[in-house]
Structure formats: C-alpha cells, structure tokens
Amino acid sequence: MIKHYIKIAWRSIWNAKSYTLINILGLAAGLASFILVLSYLNYELSYDTWSPELEKVYRVSMKQKEDLFEATPAPLASFLAENYPKVEVATSLQGAGDYEVPISAGNETLYHNGFTSSDSLFLKVFPYKLEQGDRNIALNNPNSAIISTELAKKLFGNKDPMGRTVTIFNMLEAVITGVMKMPDTPSHRKVHLVMRDPNESQNFFWNNYSYETYIKLKVPVTKEILEGDINRIFKERRLKVENWQDEDLASGNHPVLYVDAVPDIQNFPTYGNGSINTVTVLFILAMLLLIIGAINFSNLSVAKSLGKTKEIGVRKVLGSGNWNLFWQFMWEAILQCSISIVIAIGLVITILPYVNNSFGLGLQIHSNLEFIFQIGLCLIVVILISGFFPSFLLSRFKLLKILSGGTFSGNKGLWLRNLLVIFQFTVTCFFIISISVIDKQLNYLQTKDKGFSEEQLISLRSSQDTREKNFEKVRQQLLEIPGVKTVSKTTNVPGDILADSSTVNFRLNGTDYRMNSVKVSSDYFETLDSPIISGRNFRDSGMDQHTKTAIINETAAKIFGIQEPIGETIYYSNCLEKPIKIVGIVRDFNVLGYETRVQPAVFTINNEACMYQSGGAILARLEAEDPMSTIQKIDQLWKELEPGSPIRYSFLDENFQRKFASYYRIQKVIGFFGMIAIVISLMGLFALTTFTLKNRIKEIGIRKVLGAEVPNIVNLVSKDFLLLVLVAVLISIPIGWYAMNKWLENFAYQTTLNWWIFLASGGLVLFIAFLTVSLKTTQAAMKNPVKSLKTE
C-alpha cells in the first residue's frame, strides 16, 4: 500500500510541476533559515558544556546596591576555599579576554586574545585537557605557563613548544610547561595562554579588586543555597572583621556576593542580558518563516484539491476509506517536505561559510544524533502542519456531493485557508515594518551628531611607558610628522570596544555623585574638536597639570544641579585632601555608543589625586589629505618608539561602526528573513489565485458574456484576497509597533516611530499583493469566454 501511495504522490507532484516547485522552494527557504538559526541556537547553548565537571564550577562576583563588580578582591578565592566546606577548590585569575596583548617568542611578536594570569589551581577548577605536560604540576612554578594548541601553532609553528620561553607585554617572561587542547564547544572566556600570576605574592589585599574568582564545588548545589551560604560566611567572617557598621549590614548597604554557574554565564547570567535573547528572537522569527512556508503548502494543497474531487470520488466508490485517502495525501506532503529538507540542507551547507564569516561564528552542521533528531522532529512538525489539514479535509469530501456534479468548492476549509493567508501576510508585513524601523534607527544613529568630529581621528595603542612617562616626547615627535594636526591621550577612547563605563564617587558640597573619571592630556578636546561651552580649556602648565582642575561634561553639570559649576570645588570621594576646581564645561560627546546615554564625566590631567588611572590610547587628528601616507610615517616612528611591537591603530569612526556590528547583523538577518517571507507569501498568493481562477473560470465566462469588463473581473477576484491582506496588515501594525518599541529600548537615542512607517509598510504589502493577484486575474479575464464555457 505504501508503495502505491508513494507512486501516486510522485506522479501527482510531477504532474503539477510549477505548483510543486513553489511548494518545495518556499518550504526549503523556510527550512534553510530554520536550520541555520537552529545551529546558531545549538552553538549558543553549547557554551561551556565541554566538560560535565563545569557544572560544579561557579564564578563569584560582587555587588553593592546597584554597582556590579565582576572583579573581586584578590583573597576571596582562598577565603571561600578555607571557610566553605562545600568548595573543593577555588582559583583567582585575571584575564585579558578579547583584548589582544603582545606575546613574543624569540623575535616574533603577535597580538593575541585569551591571555590569563592565575594561581596554580587554574587547572584544578577548569578541566582543560593537556596534550603535553602534567596537569598536576604544570602551573606549580612561578614563571610557568600553559598554552593553547592554536596559539602554540601561531608562535612556534611545528616546533615543540614545551620548555620554550614567551614574553608577554614585552616584560613578563614565562616558560611553557603544558599545551592545552582547545575544547570542542565555545567558552564564555577566551583562554589561550595561562601564566602563573607574577604578582601572586601581593594577592592578600582585600581592597585589590582586580581578580575574578571561580570556585569548584564538591557537588553541585542550587544557586540560592550557594549564595545564601557564602554570603552568610562572608558577612560573619569578613565584613564584621572589616568593621562594617551594623546599620549598613542590616540595611544591605554592603558588598554582596552572587554566583553564576559557568554553563549559564554566556546565556543566562544573573545580571544583564545573555546573547540567548537575540538568538531566541531569531529562532522565533525563523520558526514563523518555516510556518508560513508550511502554510503555503497547506493552502496550495487545498486549492489543488479542487481538481482532485473526481479522483477522490472514484477512489471512494472503489472502496477506499477516509483513512486510505488521508494517507495518500499525507504521503504527498511527506515526499515534498523530504525533498524540501534535502534542498534546505544543501542551501545551508552552501551559505554557512558566508554566515560564519559575517557573524563571526563557528557554526557547523553536525551529523551528531542530537542534530539529526532535531531536524527529524522539525520535518515531522512541518509535515504535520503542511499535510494534516489538507489530507484531513480531502479525505472527508462527501462522496455524493462529488458524484452529483463535482461541485465541491472547498468552502469547508475556506475559513481556515483565509486564516492561514492572514497569518502569512501578518508575518510578512511584520518583517517589512521591522526592516523599515531598523533601517531608520541605524540611519538615525549613523547621522546623529556624536558631539565631536570623528573624521581622520585615529587611536594608537601603546605601551604604558609611551603613554605615560614618555608621552610629551612622543607627542612632539608625532606632531613633527607632516599630516598630523593634533595629538593627545585619554584613558577612555570614544567608540572603543573596551570603552570604560565605570563610575567613581565625586563629592560636591558634601554630596557624592557617581561619574566617569577620565584622564586626558591638555589638548584632548581640541583633538576631538569638541567645544568648551563654558569656562576654559586645559592649559599646558600650572594647576591643570597636577590634577587640581577639572573639566566636566554637560551631563555632569546637570547632575551636580547647580546654576554655575565653574569655580566650584569637587573631590574624589576617597581623596578629600585634594580639592579639584571645575574650570570648564565641555559639550557632551558620545563615548560608549548609543545604547546608553552620555555618562556624566569628569576630565582631569595626571594622577595626583589618590586615584591612579592608566590605559586607553593616544589620539591623533590627521589631515584629510592622504591619511594613509601619514600613517606610514607614524609607523616608521613607532618602530623606533616601540621596537618589536607592531603599530596598532584604528580610526574612531570605524570603531563606532564596529559598535553597531551586532545591529547590522540583525539588520541583515531580518532583511534576509523578510525577503524570504515576502517571496514565500507572494508565491503562495500567486498559486492560490491561479487555483481560484481555475475554479471560477465558468463564472468569469458567464460574467463576461453578461457584459463584465476586465477591471470588473480583476476587482471581483482580487477583492477577496486583498481583504485578507488588509486584515493581516491591520493585525501586524500593533504587533510591529510593540516589537519595535521593545527593540528601540536597547538604545538611549531612538528614532521616532512615525505613523507613516506603518502606513507605508502596509501599503507596500497591499500593493505587491494586488500586483500578484491582478497579474493572474487579468490574464484570466482577458480569455475568450466562449472557450471557458465550452470547456465546462
């Protein structure tokens, strides 16, 4: 019987090639998008699942009121290991993460991410496998280091890395004592070189908040129990020892520890958003796409069934039960869906390298059981969505109705077919609204005034010496290069991917205000071309150079809330002996991007008020003419200034662009999904119109004989479909409005959601739907009615 079903299904598919093509391609496009996003979702969910041991590993962080500190005090790890019996082992480490640091081997220097310094217990907590070296002793010696196979290959080629020396930051030397195999799945922290912490002996200061703490428990416990336990111990044995006031301890105004299980950090962190949110949204959108592909199938099958009534009737007369017919039509769905999935997998394999490249991902199509199971499940669901309704409907055609003239009109399933068309176009219109709003927002951000001029402005990464001790000399040398207009430095480079958003307390008139503290050089604002709107700029001499004056931005001025801030005295709250006079207000300019509002900032020169800040970069404004030749000259100079460290520069405008990278990716994906949604829906509408016309050909002939003209006929057929599309548009508008409002909440600066976006999107959908329907209808309406009536 199954052989018979498959044979019939195959012939039915073959006999209606264009219909089949629409069905299969529509479904394949939906399936391909779905499989892609499914592998993206799998990829995200695979974070830190490379060893079951990681389920017992937690990162311990701190918060005090609203402030979160991932960096914890140096001795916290050993404190927890000693005081909390459930801890098997704990490690404290400092990691550069994505930040690239100079790593040298012999004469070779390269910048690489994943540098980590840790105590000797790193490998006891993180179960990295060593390809070479003994994991029990690899980090025992003070200058030992373990290296990833990937980095070892880059540094040493095919030579054995064991026992070789690497230099980090051009000053820390370490000997390779182990080679780590990179885990199979991604990890929340990049680790390529783990060096035994050179400053371990200083790690007993509780006020040294620069270490990350990880603990490994003997057995996993719930997050609530763990947090309860360690906070109780921390309060009793640490905070009370530190003489925290009882009222602070009672009111909760004290540091609190919180934990994240390592497998949850990437996607389900305790605070902040994991990247799973984006993936989940994409997954839902891809599912919608798949559903509209399947709906096409379902609708077209019902429409196609109009020509199958005779066959169904005959089969029933010859003894076929409803169940036989149901399976016959189901097999048609099974066959088509299976072809679709093969095409979809082919498509995915073809475009995967492009997706990986533009998303910076390492997605792979795994032939593992889990993935095959997921795809199989997806296939079954698609077959059910696309095949069940038509099969059910067709198998229940009333025999006598068919035999008494075959006038089955499909009215029975009409309401559901209409609902499905509405759903399809709701999704399509939603995509068009989303594309319009995302475009408008990104365009708005692109053109929004950043508060400074970003053209031809470069940031130069440098060693601390170049930036601090030798800065004045370096600055002069840079200025001597023709094409360099101004040079300055800052600890917080606008648009930098690692821009500093931390705040410290400043005191004004006895009240503390949290603000961003930025160390700059005198001509910073001149370099940025950011105007001083009140007071004066920094000068090269006098109090300005000794952290005795400050320039604040407009937001800071507003937060201080006094009429005339110029001349007021502020303090770092932990440094009341060093008064700082506000001498100017600079116009707000954007540092962090557009997701957060401009932070209140206090700009000072040098580190002479208790607080030491370094980092950031040197900024140089170049002449607009031939900046690349200027950069070549800077490169020449750099070889003298920092021999062995290749120059690393970036244009600030490009850095800002990079900040939007994730949004551009979303724009691309939504654009791609939207395009597929439109194509699928229109293909479906086109085929549906064709079948409807086939069914109404006699009616159209009679109407023409009675005097109807082409526009009357087009109007007659189009109106039913356009009404459905209009309903879809009306449904999609509030949904689109809500979803886009939610999305815009990501940004501190938002474009306005004008009514015309919705009107235009809806209008566009209606227009293309009308074009699709009228194209086919006009063709039918222009046919000679005699022919159609004769056929009947």
Partner 1 sequence: MIKITDLEKYYKTEEVQTIALNKLSFEVKEGEFAAIMGPSGCGKSTLLNILGMLDDPDGGSYLFNGIEVAGYNERQRAKLRKHNIGFVFQSFNLIDELSVFENVELPLIYTGVKPAERKERVHEVLEKMQIMHRRKHFPQQLSGGQQQRVAVARAVVNNPKIILADEPTGNLDSSNGNEVMDLLTELNEAGTTIIMVTHSEHDAKFSHRIIRMLDGQKVTENVLV
Distance, in Å, from the CA atom of 288 to the CA atom of 434, rounded to the nearest integer, reads: 14
Q: Which stretch binds partner 1 (CB under 8 A): 64-72, 311-319, 475-483, 657-665?
A: 311-319
**Minimum distance, C-beta of residue 321 to partner 1, in the bound complex (Å):** 6
Q: Which stretch binds partner 1 (CB under 8 A): 21-29, 216-224, 319-327, 607-615?
A: 319-327
Nearer to partner 1, 323 or 612 (CB): 323
Q: Which stretch binds partner 1 (CB under 8 A): 396-404, 421-429, 438-446, 563-571?
A: 396-404
Distance, in Å, from the CA atom of 141 to the CA atom of 133, rounded to the nearest integer, reads: 13
Quick check: 88 binds partner 1 (CB under 8 A)?
no
List all residues 6 or more positions away from 139 whose beta carbon is below 8 Å from its beta carbon. Answer: 118, 119, 120, 121, 122, 123, 145, 146, 177, 178, 194, 196
User: How big is the site for partner 1, counted in residues (CB under 8 A)?
Assistant: 23
Tell me the C-alpha to C-alpha distance, in Å, between residue 295 and each of 333, 681, 695, 772.
12, 9, 21, 18
**Minimum distance, C-beta of residue 400 to partner 1, in the bound complex (Å):** 5
142, 157, 220, 321: which one contacts partner 1 (CB under 8 A)?
Answer: 321
**Minimum distance, C-beta of residue 335 to partner 1, in the bound complex (Å):** 14
21, 137, 225, 314: which one contacts partner 1 (CB under 8 A)?
Answer: 314
Quick check: 403 binds partner 1 (CB under 8 A)?
yes
Tokens of 722: 């356009």
Please say whether the beta carbons of 502 and 516 come within 8 A: yes
SS (H, E, C) 82-124: HHCCCEEEEEEEEECCCCCEEEEECCEEEEECCEEEECCCHHH
400, 411, 510, 706: which one contacts partner 1 (CB under 8 A)?
Answer: 400
**Minimum distance, C-beta of residue 695 to partner 1, in the bound complex (Å):** 18
284, 351, 380, 399: which one contacts partner 1 (CB under 8 A)?
Answer: 399
**Minimum distance, C-beta of residue 442 to partner 1, in the bound complex (Å):** 53
Give the rounded distance of the alpha carbon of 81 from its chain centre.
36
**Window 205-264: residues binding partner 1 (CB under 8 A):** none
Distance, in Å, from the CA atom of 426 to the CA atom of 395, rounded to the nearest integer, reads: 30
Distance, in Å, from the CA atom of 497 to the CA atom of 207, rounded to the nearest integer, reads: 27
270, 275, 280, 324: which one contacts partner 1 (CB under 8 A)?
Answer: 324
Say how many residues make up the chain: 792
Tell me the C-alpha to C-alpha distance, in Å, between residue 468 and each of 105, 155, 767.
26, 30, 63
**Minimum distance, C-beta of residue 320 to partner 1, in the bound complex (Å):** 5
55, 100, 311, 699: which one contacts partner 1 (CB under 8 A)?
Answer: 311
List all residues 6 or more positions away from 368 whose beta carbon is below 8 Å from its beta carbon. Answer: none
Question: Using CA atoms in the order 291, 297, 300, 302, what is the torsion angle rounded to 10 degrees?
Answer: -90
**Minimum distance, C-beta of residue 672 to partner 1, in the bound complex (Å):** 38
**Minimum distance, C-beta of residue 311 to partner 1, in the bound complex (Å):** 5
Quick check: 414 binds partner 1 (CB under 8 A)?
no
Please say whether the beta carbons of 527 and 619 come within 8 A: yes
Quick check: 306 binds partner 1 (CB under 8 A)?
no
Q: Which stretch binds partner 1 (CB under 8 A): 201-209, 318-326, 635-643, 661-669?
A: 318-326
**Window 669-688: residues binding partner 1 (CB under 8 A):** none
Residues 1-30 as x/- pattern, contact with partner 1 by CB under 8 A: x--x--xx--xx--x---------------
Please say whether the beta carbons of 249 and 239 come within 8 A: yes
Residues that bind partner 1 (CB under 8 A): 1, 4, 7-8, 11-12, 15, 310-311, 313-321, 324, 399-400, 403-404
